[in-house]
Structure formats: structure tokens, C-alpha cells
Structure 1
Amino acid sequence: MRISTIQAFNNGNQGIQDNYAKVIRTQEQVSSGKRLLSPADDPVASVRLLQLDQEANRLGQFKSNMSAATNSLNQEEATLNSVTNILQRVREITLQAGNGALDSSDRQALAQELTEREEELFGLFNSRNARGEYLFGGFQSQTPPFVRNPDATYSYEGDQGQRSIQIAGSKQVAINDNGKDLFVDVGNVNRVVTEANAVNTGNARVSLGVVEDKKAYDTQFYPNNTLSITIGAGGTSYEIYGDANPAVLLASGTIEPNDDKSQQIRVAGVVVNLDGDLNAGDEFSITRGAALPPGDPRIADSGEKRSILQNIAFLRATLENTGNSTEDKLVRRDKLAVSLENIDNAMNSVLSVQTSIGARLNVIESTGDENAEVSLINTKVQAELSELDYAEALSRLSMESIVLQAAQQSYVKISGLSLFNFLR
């Protein structure tokens, strides 16, 4: 093979430039601490690093989401603790109001405190989180969920949605609870209407009906709309029939004489009291509130649900509007019993959501630990792919420097070779 002088010069020059480029690249790696200076250095590792960067950004967003969710849930939990404390005080007032030694002024004082407690609850139901979003409005987080109407009643203006936030690749957590499920749709124990037949010859009255066993009520009352209690001969027994066709005897029993002339009767999950003298043939009815005709004024107090604010207003009106007559005392007894049961239902509803919040906070905590472990693994893999092994790099830099020096020295010698040097 014939090699020209110019070819020898070019080959030597190219060799020096290639070796110099290697030295410069290794020196840049050492100074930056990075193994990959461009995607061309390792295309596969570069793609993997890009994926890991994207995953790190996702984990950072999840961490931010978990912080926002934790703050919102902690604030909701604190709000519900305050609601529970108020309901506990309302329960104490209800029990206190049943004291027969209280006079009208005492009951008015208790009613005034209920007014303040009602206002306090109204404010709590419209609480916001740190971002200014209403906690209990469902998806409607920018407008107050509860509003006071001109007639002093309350309306829920939110929806039944539940906002969620993503805290992991396939995991979301709810960050609020809607006020309708929590504060409005509270089970009402007084979901039946009771009435004494106008032609009864005895003077007994029937108390408000209380649903003490909802399962029995749901399965045994239906398909009847109304149950009829008929007093037997001598006023010493009773039979209860439904209005379904054919009528079926649902219950019967003996009326035991007692000093206060009060008889407690249970049927289909409902309990009522008959107070006063009972005569043969007297009849009393128990009607499902849902079966009342539209527009019946009794529907307001006999619905399947009764909101917390509505129940407190019901209790307050009871204390304000009942006097000291025997009838008033019996009415007050019945309404206080209903209020007490409904307050317990409300407290159970709040407690159920508090339990759910605790579970959600636990999920956030455990997910945060999982994300932290994934982030640590990602950081380790990123370091393995991108960070420089200084021992190897410095050794390589030394070797490449020696090769460069050798190339430079050999170039000097080769550049001095020429046929003209032998023609002297």
C-alpha cells in the first residue's frame, strides 16, 4: 500500500484530534460529575433517565396532593369534633328539659341556648378549608352549602358529590364529605303519624310514634300504610291490624292496669304510648308519613329524614310553645323523646364520617411511605445511570492523556520523514 506524505500528515493530525476529544470529554465528565453529557453517550440510559425524571415529577405532585388532602381532612375532622361537642350539649339540654321541676322561664332559657347552638352549627356547616373551599358543599366548593330562608328554615344548596384527589398512580382519596348526607339526611325516628279516633269514648291520647327498630319497621310495616290499634272488651286488651287486603293481625296483647294510666305498645318496629282511660272499641292509628297525601301539614314532622338544624328548631319550638298543663307535659315528653333519638342518630352520622376520615388519613400516610420508598429507589437508579464513577474516570483520563502524548510525539517524528532528507 502506498501512503503519500499528505496522507501521513492527515492521519497523524486526525489521531491527535480524536485523542484530544476523548481527553476533553473525560475531563468534562470529571468536572461535572455526570457520566452522560448528551443522549448520544448512552441512548438507552438517556431514555430511562427521562422516564425516571417524569416519575419523580409525578411523585412530587402526589406529595403535594397528599399535603393538601391531609390539611383538608384535618380541618374537616376538627370541624366535626366541634359539631359533636355542640350536639352533645344539645343532648344534655334535651335531657335537662325533661325535668318536671322546670318552669316556663327555665325552658325559655334552655330554648335561648338552643338558638345560639343552632347559629353555631350553621356557621360550622359552612366551614372552609385553607384554600377557601367549602368543606361540605360536595362539588360546589365555591358557594355556601347551607343558606337560611326568610321563614327561618334552612336549605342545602350544595350537591351530593365528593371531591377526590390522586395520591398515587392508581389511588385516589376523598378530601371532603357533602353536607346533605352528613347533616341533612339524618334518620328520623318520628316517621309515622299517630291519631286517636274522634269517636273514642275513652279519654286516652296516643303519643308520637317512635321507630325504635328500623329493620323491623322496613320489613313488617310494609305493605301497610296504616296500622289500627283496637281496644278490646273492658279496656284490658288490644289487637293491631294493618290496612292491607286481606287484613292481617299483626300483634295483640293485654293492657296491664297501672297508676299513671300509660300503656306502651310495640308493633312492626314502632313504639307508642297510650295515656289515659281506655274503653272497649277505642281505636288509634299509626300511619307512615310517606303515605300521607301531598300537602298534609304533618309531613314536615314525619319524613324519613330530618336535618340536624331542623331537629334543633323542632326541639327549640317544643320548649318555647308548651306550658304546664297535663297535655303540654305529655306533648313535651313525646317530642323530647323524639328529639333525643334524632340527636343520637345525628351524632352517629357524624361519628361514622369521622371514622371514615381517620381511615382516609391512614391511607394517605401509608401511601406517602410507599411513594417515599419508590422515590428513594428512583433516585438510586438515576444515580447509577447518570453519576460518574470517579475512580474509573480518572484512570481513563490518565490513560487517554498518555495516548494523546504518544500520538503527539509520534506525529513529530513522522512529520520529519521525507525523501529530500536523503538527497543531500
Structure 2
Amino acid sequence: MRVTTNLIFDQNFRAINTSQGQLSDIQTQLASGRKLLRPSDDPVGAVQVIRLTEEIDKTVQYRRNIDLATNNLELQDTTMRSINEIVNRGRVLVVQAGNGIVSREDRRALASEIEQIRNQVVDLMNTQNASGEYIFAGFQSREQAFVFNPGNASNPIQFQGDDGINSMQLSDSVSIQTTVSGKTLFEDVKARLDIHNISNAGFTFNGFDMQSQDDFDVFHQQNYSAVNPANNQYQLELLAGNQVQVTNLGTGAVVGNVPYVAGQATVFEGLSFDIQGPVGSTLDFDLQPPDKQNLAETLHRMSLALNDPNISDYQYQQEIRNALVGLDNGLEKMARENSSVGARLNIAESVLGSLLDNDVANQKARSAIQDVDYAEASAEFSKQETALSAAFASFPRVAGLSLFDFI
């Protein structure tokens, strides 16, 4: 083989350039801490690093979502606990108002405190988060959720939001509800079930009492017809043998027979009727349509009853019963929502733990692929530096091997 001068120079230059390039790559690895400087260094590893980086970035976003969801849920929980506490105080005052020895001045004092509780409840129902959004306004979170208008007798507490519910994605497969609409939580609270349109023929009717609200509620829920109002009409008729027969006037069906004792109340499905009369006497009544009443509105109507000097004792007692049932139903609804919020907070905490575990594993896997081993890289740097030095030292001697040097 004939070795020309050009071949000698080309080979030595190529060796020096190669050594310099390898030394430069190792130096860049040591400076950046990355073993993969370009996809061609390890095509398979580069793809794995991209996928792992995507998972790590996704975990970062999910952690932000969890923090935001947790903050929202904790604010809701704190607000509902505050409402629960002051409504319980209001309930105590309503019970106190039912005491037979409460004077007119006492009623006014109770009304004043219940009004303050009502105002606190309305204020808490309009709670805003750090972004200024009303947390119980649904999707209309920039608008005040509830407005108190005492001049509107039929609807003094007006809800201005909607029933929208926000959710937050916590992981690829887990999403939780982060808000609850005030319509669901405070507006859609069942009011006390009752009867109305009472009329009697032959009976001396001295009124009725709700002896067992629970028994009557079960009867109402099982028999009330929203489709055919006639089926909500009932009649009590005194039969021979001291029996009161209860008939559904709409269907004609006999729904019950209860004993009749003159001078004693006649009890049917939790209703206690004070009736007296001859055989054939009747008393008709209708089941009242189910209604819903805002928690703050229940307190408001109780304060009005306490301030009304012309209210009858019967109507006063009815308002107390209405308030107690309404407050109890509202407290029960908040208790269920509190439990739900607690469960969602537990889910968020559990998902966060899983995300942190996965993040550690992904970080470790990515590091194994792309991060430089400093001990190995330092040794390789020394080796390449020695090789480059040798190439520089040998090149002048190899380049000097020419016949002209021996002539």
C-alpha cells in the first residue's frame, strides 16, 4: 500500500477531530449533568425520556389541581360548619320561643337575635374564595349568590346563581366535585309537610295537632299525588260503633279506621284531631303540596312571627313547628354535604400520595436514562484527554516521515 503525504495528514486530522469531538461531548455532559445530548446518542432512551417527562409534567399539573380542589373543599367545609353552628343556636332560640311563659318582650328579644343569625347565615351563604368567586353560586360565581329582600314577602331570600357544579381532574382516572350549588344546599330544603283546606260538617272541630311529624311525613310521601290533586283529598267520617273511617275522596278507597272516644283526640297517621259530633259527621282536609324553603328564609319567617303582635296562638305554634322542621332538614342536608366533602378530601389526599409515589419512580427512571454518571464521565474525560494529547504529540513525528528528510 502506498502511503501518501495527503493520507497521513487526513488520518491524523481525522483522529484529532474525533478525539476533540468526544472530549467536547464528555465535557458538555459533565457541565450539563445530562448523558443524552442529542437523540442520536440513544434513540430508544430519548423516546423513553420524552414519555417520562410528559408523565412528570402531568403529575405537576395534577398536584396543582389537588391543591386547588383541597382549598375549595376546605373552604366549603369551614363555611358549612360555621353555618351549622349558628343555625343550631337559632334552633335553640326557636325551642325557647315555644315556651308557654315567654312574654311579648321576650319574643321581641328572641326575634332580634334570630334576625342577627339570619344575617350571618346569608353572609356565609355568600362566602367568596381568594379569587373573589362566590363558592355557592354555581357557574355564576362572579355574581352574589343570595340577596336578602325583606320587602318581598313571598321570596325574601333570592338565589341569583345556578345549579352548576364544578369538577377537578386529580389523575388520569379520578375526578372529584369541588363545588356545590347553593340552590342544592340551601334552597332545596324540604319544608314541613302539613294539611290545609279543612272543612267540617256535623263535627265540632276544635283544631288539630301534629302528634308525630315523622309518621305523617311517611304517610304524605306514600300517598301524595302530584298528578291528580283530587287524590290528595281525605275525609274523616264518624261511623256507628265509635269508629272514624278515613277515605280518599279522589279514589274512594278507605285508607284507615281509627277508634273514636268522645272528649279525646282522634289520631290518624300522626295527626291528632279534636272532634266531637254525632254519627255521620265528617271532616275533610287536603294534603299540602311538598314545598322547599331556604334555610335563611326559615329563620326570617320565624323572626316575623315573633315580632307579630296579632298572631294567634295556633298560628304561632304552627310557625314554631315549621321553623323546627325546616332548620332540622337544613342541618341534615348540610351534614350530608359535610360528609361528602370529607370523603372527597380523603380521595384527594389518597390520589396525592399515589401521584407522589409515581413521580419518584418516574424521576428515578428518567435519571437512570439521561443523567450522567460523574465518576464514569470523569474517567472517560481523562481517557479522551490522554488520547487527544497523544494524537497531538504523534502527529509531528508521523508527518516528518518523508523521503526528503533522508536526501
In structure 2, C-alpha distance between the alignment counterparts of 1:194 and 1:420, rounded to whole Å:
132
Partner residue of 2:214?
212
Shift of 1:345: 0.9
- How do 1:366-381 residues align onto structure 2 when only pairs under 5 Å count? 366-381=350-365
Looking at structure 2, the residues matched to 69 and 396 of structure 1 have their Cα atoms a distance apart, in angstroms, of 50
Listed as ranges, the matches of 1:147-158 within 5 Å are 147-149=147-149, 150-151=151-152, 153-158=156-161
Q: What are the residue-to-residue correspondences of 1:123-272 with 2, within 5 Å? A: 123-149=123-149, 150-151=151-152, 153-197=156-200, 199-207=201-209, 212-213=214-215, 214-222=217-225, 224-233=231-240, 236-245=242-251, 247-256=252-261, 261-266=264-269, 271-272=270-271
1:212 partner letter = D
CA deviation string 1:314-349 (max 9, x = no partner): 32233333669xxx3333333322321221111100
**Contact 2:258–2:267 at 8 Å: present in 1 too?**
no
Q: For residue 219 of structure 1, what is the amino acid of its counterpart?
A: Q
Deviation of residue 64 (structure 1)?
1.7
Q: CA deviation at 1:242?
A: 0.3
Q: Deviations over 1:115-158 (max 9, x none)?
A: 22111111111111122111111111110111233425122111
3-state SS in 2 of match to 1:250? strand
- How far residue 313 of structure 1 moved from its aligned partner, in angstroms, is 2.8
Spell out, residue by residue over 1:384-420, the C-alpha distance to the aligned partner (whole angstroms, 9 max, x if none): 1221112221222232233323333332222111122
After TM superposition, give the deviation of residue 26 of structure 1 in Å.
Answer: 1.4
Q: Residue in 1 aligned with 2:288?
A: 289
- Give SS of 1:151's match: coil
Amino acid corresponding to residue 189 of structure 2 in structure 1: V
| Aligned residue in 2 for 1:27 | 27
Structure 1 residues 187 and 85: CA distance shift in structure 2, 3 A: same
Contact 2:262 2:276 in 1 (8 A): no
Structure 2 gap ranges (5+): none
Q: CA deviation at 1:225?
A: 1.8
**1:87 alignment partner AA:** V
Describe how 1:115-126 pairs up with structure 2 within 5 A: 115-126=115-126
- The residue identity in structure 2 corresponding to 1:281 is G
Distance 1:252 1:321, change over 3 A: farther
Cross-structure match for 1:295: none
Is this contact kept in 2: 1:145–1:158, CA < 8 A? yes
Q: 2:10: which partner in 1?
A: 10
* Corresponding residue number in structure 2 for 1:318: 305
Match in the other structure for 1:275: 274
Q: How many residues align?
A: 399
Give the CA deviation at 1:215: 4.7
- CA shift for structure 1 position 256: 3.7
1:52 aligns with 2:52: yes
1:30-60 residue CA offsets vs partner (Å, 9 max, x unmatched): 2332212233322332232233333222222
Distance 1:349 1:419, change over 3 A: same
CA apart distance, 1:209 = 9.4
Q: Distance in 2 between matches of 1:281 and 1:103?
A: 43
Superposed CA RMSD: 2.4
Q: What displacement does 1:276 show?
A: 5.5
Q: What code does the residue aligned with 2:254 have? A: L
Q: Classify the secondary structure of the residue corresponding to 1:168.
A: coil
Aligned partners of 1:53, 1:193: CA distance in 2, in Å?
A: 69
Question: Residue 132 and residue 191 in structure 1: after superposition, are their counterparts in 2 closer, same or farther (change >3 A)?
Answer: farther
Q: Which residue number in structure 1 is paired with residue 329 of structure 2? A: 345
Question: In structure 2, what is the Cα distance between the partners aligned to 1:55 and 1:263?
Answer: 72
Deviation, 1:77, is: 1.0
8 Å CA contact retained: 1:226, 1:242: yes
Secondary structure, in 3 states, of the residue corresponding to 2:170?
A: strand
Deviation of residue 75 (structure 1)? 1.3
Q: Which amino acid aligns with 1:255?
A: Y
Residue 170 (structure 1) shift: 2.5
Q: Is 1:361 the equivalent of 2:339?
A: no
After alignment, is 366-375 or 337-346 more displaced?
337-346
Q: 2:152 is aligned with what amino acid?
A: D
Contact 1:126 1:135 (8 Å CA) reproduced: yes
Question: Could you tell me how far 1:71 is from its partner in structure 2?
Answer: 1.5
Note the residue ranges of structure 1 that are not aligned, 5 or more in a row.
Answer: 291-302
- What is the CA distance between 1:84 and its match in structure 2? 0.8
What percent identity do the matched residue pairs reach?
Answer: 27
Q: 1:352 to 1:120 in 2, by over 3 A?
A: same
Q: CA deviation at 1:167?
A: 1.7
Opposite residue 73 of structure 1, the aligned amino acid is: L
Please say if 1:92 is aligned against 2:76: no
2-structure distance, mates of 1:285, 1:208: 16
| 1:250-286 deviation per Cα after TM superposition (whole angstroms, max 9, x unaligned) | 011113456xx544321xxxx3222364444333333
Match of 1:294 in 2: none
Looking at structure 1, the residues matched to 76 and 34 of structure 2 have their Cα atoms a distance apart, in angstroms, of: 47
Distance change (3 Å), C-alpha of 1:322 and 1:194: farther
How far, CA to CA, are the matches of 1:361 and 1:39 in structure 2?
42
Residue 216 of structure 1 and its aligned partner are, at CA, apart by 4.1
With normalisation by structure 1, the TM-score equals 0.86
